[in-house]
Structure 1
């Protein structure tokens, strides 16, 4: 009698629960939506073109839904990857300037701020002294 083995995946997080026909709920929904759009489009295209053209049109209409159902990379589905691509391409700025903050530049900024503060204090003291001199006269 030969021993039969069943392969068990090491990472159980990648195992997805199957609902029907060995397909996940996501795949069933996407395939149903693909059929909902693809089959009527086949009959509409067949009225104005040949059957092979209608079949090609139906496949073109259904393929995005199949990609949404099946494609997954690094645990992310197609719509998530497309969202990242759109954000990186159109939403975020193209050039991100590299800015350093070393100790010397921080000391220079501190010294500049300190001299501005000292000037403001000296100006306010001079104004106060002028007011006192005018009151004494």
Structure 2
């Protein structure tokens, strides 16, 4: 006679079978759980983070006004409405 008993055997079976069942049944975007977990680990921990885009104008010291800021270029590009455009 086993020392585990019927209730213990049932819980042991559930403990072994339930994770295997969830691994087999879970699917996200057509990928099984192990591939989803692998992708999450790669994206979060193994790959470098997002690098902000930064650049320096190497010609800025040679200009008379110095570096041009993005806001200045946008303001310069906007044209003031003419009298004809205001009349409609």
Structure with the higher helix share, 1 or 2: 1
TM-score by length of 1: 0.35
Higher relative contact order (CA 8 A, sep 6+): 1
- Structure showing greater radius of gyration is 1
